[in-house]
A = this chain, B = another copy of it.
Amino acid sequence: MKMSQLAGQRFKETPAECQIASHILMTRGGYIKNVGSGIFSLFTPAKRITQKIEAIIREEMDAIGGQEVMFPVAMPASLWKESGRFDSVGSELLRFKDRGGSDMVLGMTHEEAAVHLVRDAAPSYANYPFMIYQIQTKFRDEPRARGGLIRVREFTMKDAYSFHASQEDLERYYALCYRAYERIFIRAGLPDFIAVQSDSGMMGGKVAHEFMLLADAGEDTLALCEHCGFSANIDVAECIVRTSDTADEPLELISTPGTKTIGALCERLSVTPDKTCKAVMYRKDASDGLVAVFIRGDLDVNEIKLRNYLKEEIHPDTAHEDDVAYGFCGPVNFTAGALLLFDRSLRDARGMVTGANKADFHYKGFSPGRDCPDVEYHDFAKTCEGAVCPSCGKQSVIIRKGIEVGNIFQLGTKYTAAMGMRYIDKDGAARHPVMGCYGIGVGRLMASICEARHDAFGPVWPMPVAPWQAHICALRAGEGDVRSTADALYDALLKSGVEVLYDDRPVSAGVMFSDADLLGVPLRVVISPKTAGRGVVEVVKRDKSLSLDVAAGEAVPFIRGLIQELLGEFTPA
């Protein structure tokens, strides 16, 4: 490919709407163009990178017996009604009517389509296990698309669905897929991912993992143990906090006029937030019923845990009814009608400050075990920096941001049961197959690689996914043998199977090098009047770790050798 023909423009200015490195560099480098909120077109460099990522994914999916298929983007809503998700999923599911007035959806995931495809195709236990996958466009109507390709509305995703005759077989295959994912991220140049336990969300099922790139630009919050390597999405991470050793004190009503926040309360009484008990109020979406969660003042409620416990949707209470003393609520003598829930952080606490359910008054000396006997404690808290690791028991939890680049779920029979997929088991009984599902967002993976591998001047693409393998810069091509040397090298590299970008434009060295930095090709070959005069070319690595003159006649084998070496850096063990 010659740069003079490459569609797309590169520029220096950071566009106002771009916040994170991958969004900035991939916009400035002519990889992507924003079409609408969370919707992008890809220029050729990005298309080439995604094609290489997809090829890696295909190889690893095929290696674990995957069969590539294709599901529709637009589907009749009837499929989603069969599974129940037409009603249960929120407005991120894009619903519309076709010209005949039929309800349709745009696929944001394809469990229903997968079951529909194979529902009648595997009637016997002997047909199991099998896995089908596709790489296809999806649409998720995100309210807050941002971060370039990190959080979009339309995206290309590899989604795989496995079918099994037993939970044990699913678990065996799940482990296989887990390892395939490790290989994919290593091969794509993202070796520093971690896998974390995660919530299965709207997918259903119990066991799920997310593959995360640790990055400040990430939207997910992760709880990690520095000591034992435990890792979980904060959505599901168990919260264990130590209780400081305090003796019981008598319960005493104190006047705290206008002291409605934990901060104000701590300041007034000179206590630390972990010696307070707060009430966080929610309403159930369906019944509007009030839910009061009592939790230690220094902790936050994890709404995902709360939803999973209640098995229904909730939202923060903004109704502000007259019989609730907002700002002064506590578990003692809470008289308004509400479901009262107690976080585990209160179980062993004593001598705390908490609301007295009366405006401008608190209790001090509150000991939950003494003052609220016979209540159950559950884990409703978001874990935090310094919490106790649920795995090794050390007080070593740290909190980090991550970008989710893949996820795997054990779905169980949620979809096969709802959609009536059955097979006859060895014993002659009809059963529903057990499913797993496995996703990787292709565009987000590309952006994540850019997040992990860039400098101030542009992306530094790993060789296995680089848009081209070598980038020839012909400086002052009109002088001496520059053009003929560059032309000959371009032809020779193409002929030897190397993917080459050739900057043949009559532009300054400054423009040529800054464009090359933005395109991030791992190897650069500079030809100038100076090098041509000496019969050499200059071979430079994009990551600045090499800069070397090579005789023009030996350039092709030298470059090919370097490419092999750089490809080899990303071979899984």
Give chain A's interface residues, CB within 8 Å of chain B: 1, 4-9, 30, 33, 35-37, 39-44, 46-48, 50-51, 65, 67-76, 78-79, 91-92, 94, 96-100, 102, 104, 106, 113, 116-118, 120-122, 126, 130, 132, 134, 136-137, 139, 141, 143, 153-154, 156
Other A-B pairs, 16, CB within 8 Å; known A35-B71, A35-B75: A7-B118, A8-B121, A9-B120, A35-B116, A36-B72, A36-B75, A37-B102, A39-B74, A39-B76, A41-B113, A43-B69, A47-B68, A73-B73, A73-B154, A96-B97, A136-B137
Verify B41–A117 contact, CB threshold 8 A.
Answer: yes
Q: How far is the CA of A412 from the CA of B74 in the complex (A)?
A: 32
Write out the residue numbers on chain B whose beta carbons fall within 8 Å of the beta carbon of A5.
65, 67, 130
Q: Are A69 and B7 in contact, CB atoms less than 8 angstroms apart?
A: yes
The copy count of this chain in the complex is: 2
Which residues from chain B contact A126 at a C-beta distance below 8 Å?
Answer: 4
**Contact yes or no, A7 B130, CB < 8 A:** yes
CB distance from A158 to the nearest CB of B (A): 13
Asked whether, in the complex, the Cβ of B154 is within 8 Å of the Cβ of A33, the reply is no
Complex: A74 Cα to B117 Cα, angstroms: 24
Is there contact, CB below 8 Å, between B7 and A121?
Answer: yes
3 A-B pairs closest in CB distance = A96-B96, A36-B76, A42-B70
Once the chains bind, are A139 and B41 in contact (CB under 8 Å)?
A: no
Given that A79-B35, A99-B91 are known contacts, is A72 also in contact with B117, CB under 8 Å in the complex?
Answer: no
A-B contact pairs, 5 of them (CB 8 A): A9-B121, A39-B75, A41-B72, A50-B70, A73-B139
Across the interface, name the chain B residue whose C-beta is closest to A119.
Answer: B33
**A118: nearest residue on chain B (CB-CB)?**
B7
Contacts of A92 in B (CB 8 A): 99
With both chains docked as a complex, state the minimum distance between the C-beta of A145 and any C-beta of chain B, in angstroms: 11
Q: Which of B4, B69, B122 is A47 in contact with, Cβ under 8 Å?
A: B69
Contact of A154 among B4, B72, B121 (CB under 8 A): B72
Q: How far is the CB of A153 from chain B (nearest CB, A)?
A: 7
- Best-surrounded residue of A36, A78, A141 (most CB of chain B within 10 A): A36
Across the interface, which residues of B come within 8 angstroms of A71, CB to CB?
35, 41
Q: In the complex, A74 Cα to B46 Cα: how many Å? A: 19
Report A176 CB to chain B, min CB distance, Å: 15
- Whether A35 lies near B121 (C-beta < 8 A) is no
**A44's closest neighbor in chain B, by CB?**
B67
A154, B74: Cβ atoms under 8 Å?
yes
Asked if A41 and B67 sit within 8 Å, CB to CB, the answer is no
